[in-house]
Structure 1
Amino acid sequence: MSDQLKFIVEKLNKEPFKKNYSLITFDSLEPMQLLQVLNDILAEIDPKHSVDIREEMPDQTAKRMLNILGILKYKPPGNTGDMSVFRQGLVIGSKPVIHPLLYWLLQRTSELKKRAYLSRFLVRLEIPEEFLQEDVIETYNQYEELMENFKVIHKECEQLKSSGFSTAEIRRDISAMEEEKDQLIKRVERLKKRVETVQNHQRMLEIARQLRVEKEREESLAQQKQEQKNQLFHAEQRLQRAQNQLKNIRHTAADAKPEGLLKRLEEEMKFNSYMVSEKLPKELDSKRQTLHFLQKVVSEPAMNHDDLTEVEDKIQEVNMQINQLIENRMRNDPMDDKLSLFRQQAAIIARKKETKADELQEAKEEIANLEREISQKSSQAQDIDGSEILRGDEFKHYVSKLRFKTTQYKKKRQELSELTVEYGILQRTEEILKQQHDNTQQQLQIIEQKKGILGYSDTQEELERVSALKSEVDEMKGKTLDDMSEMVKKLNSKIADKKSALAPVIKELRPLRQRCQELTQEHDENKTQYDGCAAGLESNRSKLEQDVRALREECSQAESQYHYINLMKTSVETQIQRAADEMKAYVSPDSQERRKAIREQYSRHILEQENLGKTLKEKQKLVKESHAPNMKQVKMWKDIEKLMDCKKLCFQKQQNQTSIGQVIQGGGEDLLIL
């Protein structure tokens, strides 16, 4: 709960609320302030709820909040799962009801904003059937079509928003595509000019077009073939699953006997008949009773404090009557009721029967779930490796094959361990040989040093290695020189061919360069014109968006004013109805009805208060009359208290003097003894 409160306070202290609460201040909020905080959050989700709850009736506030919470699909937690308890807690601003609601709203504010926005357009209007005539049906059908179109357009808009494209990127893509288009047009014109010089170019173009069509057809046929292969593969998988199911059913039916099947069917029939005739009707009746009770609670108006006290008094009276009946029943002799024992046994058996039926139903559901999981796992296994689930003899064969493979694995593992041991021995021999080689090298160096030719063996090895490298480098140089000469010849021939081939193209390219410069200038001029036109259109679009935004705000204000007027109308109607009921109760000849009138209640209260005032005035008069002697008596008691204090002090002084004299006398005696 503390984590929940911390989260709520953090969210309320941030944008857009900025409440500046602490945990203590938030926890000490009054019910009306807590309801105002809830209303502020609902106003942030849907702006039409931005009202001051102090200017609104409690039943209207509860109705409005319950309506928006129903649209937002809020489900109360377990401790406030009863809707009557939740409704009463919402009306009085109870913390156990409001705190989980605030936590739920602040967790998913953006999602709920979207839901509230969509509810303005997607919540259907409930029209009675007697009003659904021809014109109304046509308009209602148009309304439903517009709602479906709105759904489609909203989905497309969300997809475009989530796609991540921006207007600048789209414009860049459009400009790049236009440039590519211009280049392609130029390339096509160039190719057309080249092709026009060729004989029978029309026929060749037609053949090329037919070739392209046939290639596209070939690709589509290949795609269809692949799709049909996939369909065939899925159909084979379904057939294989059906065959496996049929095999399982036959396997289960092979061991079954007619008597067992009949017995099982009789048990299922008894269970189903019990469920249909006894258990389900009871549950249905209980659900209907709870529904009727909830509808009755919802249809009743908001309860005041007086209504709550009346209901509590009635509950106490009914409880007292129940206790009296229980006492009367306990006073009677239980031996008189001969059927009580059998009734208790029947009730126990019925409860056991219900529990066993529930357990059987749960077991059946669990078996069905396990069968579904088994089928899903088998299908997943078949999809992964394409193999079936092994059963019976196939599983035994698989186990024997697995045992053979395990024996082979153990043999190979033993061979591997032997090889690793041999590898370790070889490594050790290599190290020993290296040590021996190092020792011989050291001995050779000592001998060379004694002879005066230190480093002779190293220089000889180095000279042999350098001579070998030199011979290899000489061979590589000869090969590379030959290759380079051949490559130079080939490059010179290729350059000459390219020059001869590019000479006419260069001649054609010179006028095209001039044309390109002219076109670039023309493109720059057109681009400046296009940018200016685009800027003007952008400004017009922004103005139109501002106008649309202003009109939407006016529309929302008009809607809020309309709803406010409707609410005021309903409040005035309820006040008029209350006044009429009050007048009816006041005028009615029945004394009980007249007592329920507010005027009678207030007149009784006024009489009670007047009587109370009279008694208080009499008490005041008595107090005034007895004030002087009472004050005199208080003064006398204070004087007595002072006298007693004085006597007490004198007595204490006398006691102190006597104790000092005794001490002095005792000291003198001690001195005499010494």
Structure 2
Amino acid sequence: MSEQIKFIVEQLNKEPFKKTFNLITFDSVEPLQLLQVLNEVLAEIDPKHNIDIREEAPDQTAKRMFSLLGILKYKPPGCASDMSAFRQGLVTGSKPIIHPILHWLLQRTNELKKRAYLARFLVKVEIPADFLQDDVVADTYHQYEELVEGFKTLHRECEQLKNCGFSTAEIRRDINAMEEEKDQLIKRVERLKKRVDTVSNHQRMLEMARQLRVEKEREESLMQQKQEQKNQLFHAEQRLQRAQQQLKDLRQASADAKPENKLPKELESKKKTVHYLQKVVAEPAMGHSDLNELEAKIQEVNTQINQLIEKRMMRNDPTDDKLFLFRQQASIISRKKEAKAEELQEGKEELLIMEKELAQKTNQARDFDGTEVLKGDEFKRYVSKLRSKSTVYKKKRQELAELRTEYGVLQRTEEILKQRHEAIQQQLQAVEAKHGITGFSDTQEELERVSALKSELDEVKGRTLDEMSEMVKKLNALIAEKKTALAPVIKELRPLRQKCQELTQEYEEKKSLYDSCAAGLESNRSKLEQEVQGLREECGQEETRYHYINCLKKITERQIQRAADEMKLYVSADPQERRKALREQYNRNILEQENMGKKLREKQKAVRESHGPNMKQVKMWRDFEQLMECKKLCFQKQQNQNSIGQVIQEGGEDRLIL
């Protein structure tokens, strides 16, 4: 606990709090002042809480601090059953509750600042489900959720850029280095111009060199265009091959359009798809680390490709152009930039298309069943539920197919039987017409049917009357039995009801007495607990004061002992013992410093006396260096003139030979 308080005092004495606490003053702080210190720390984390708690109600202060500590995910020490004591201690400014909170907050202030800043945008507003039934409120809340998700992605990208981007110091160093290289190149160009000005026909040579550079750049651009056209031709050939393959597949599919040819192929393709999906499911799921490794490998391969391209271009192109490497790097960077810009544009267009499709699908889904599109775990649960339903649907569909086939068989059987029945009826009608009794079979069937129906109705009516009479008899007998059985019970129940009412009244009176007594005992217990807590705090303060006074006493005794030892050494007759005294040691140190000061003053005087001649000698040496530099420049100029004259003489001899 002492280490904890020491850490709190050290942090509060630093920026930005600038307190002047020590262990004693901090331990003797009043509960209200301690709450104010906690509020200042919370205000440093979240400026919204920069409030004077004396101008705020205690319940509002407690509610505000509870909400912020909940957002910061502070877990109080102890089990969950101590939460009521934690709340009460925070309201009353109890030290055992406030000190751990301050220690936890001051350990991770920067992290908590970031968490509080994010909580302002990421903690969603709770809206009752009844209000979400309104379409306007639902659409507004949906837009609010989309904005929260957008803030998450933007904040994540911002953090990545902060962590992986270049620092301003590195950029400034690069700019300074480039400026130095630029100055060197300018100086070098000026020197070359001075050397070229002395050569005859230098303008014509410069023009030829400029034309050569232009032609090389043109050649390079033509090579790039040629490579791009080759790539376009390659992509077009691939598209043509894919189209031809699709056309071939469609022709084969149209040729094999019969069911006996098409079904086995479709079944085989479905089996292959299922086998591929099973392989995919059997493979372990890829996490962020696997994706990062793949991205790192892709980046490494791209760098290797760029290095190989640079090497090939360096081998093929001439090396006499000093600026070729810079132009090559610039062209590579420009190509990369154009490719990335095209990829970015394609990605943006695809993103817009997908966002439009997502909005359309969301609106369609909302219009269809009035619900929002599922996300995250809810979508996974919905998919798993949908899979189980799909299996059930497949089973039911299979059963339905079997029933349909059976229905078709039965329908066909019914048609066959109807045809046979019609044939027999026709034969019977022919026989009746032959014997002169046409319609006899129909009349006979109708009479038989009516008589059978009448007999069935008579039987049903008789059975119903018999059952009703038997049921009435049974019910009457059952009612009589129940009455006779319940008569003695009712007689016994009457006095018991009266007794129950009396006992209930007595119970209510006793309960009211118990509640009043319990409330009085609870109030007395809370008062005693507060008194005990105050006495414990007073005891702790007295113990701290005792330890502090004891430490002061020991320090004073030690100082007195040192003074006595010093006096004993100073009064001692032994010179060796006297030399150990602090006074003698300080006198020796003072004497040594005075001697050193005398030597330094003498040395300063000598330097001042020799400063004038030394400066004259330095000036003479600089003049000598300037003279030698001038001679060197004159010699170089003479050498350049001799070399130019020799070149002119050789050119004249060549013209004479021609």
> TM-score, with normalisation over the residues of structure 2?
0.30
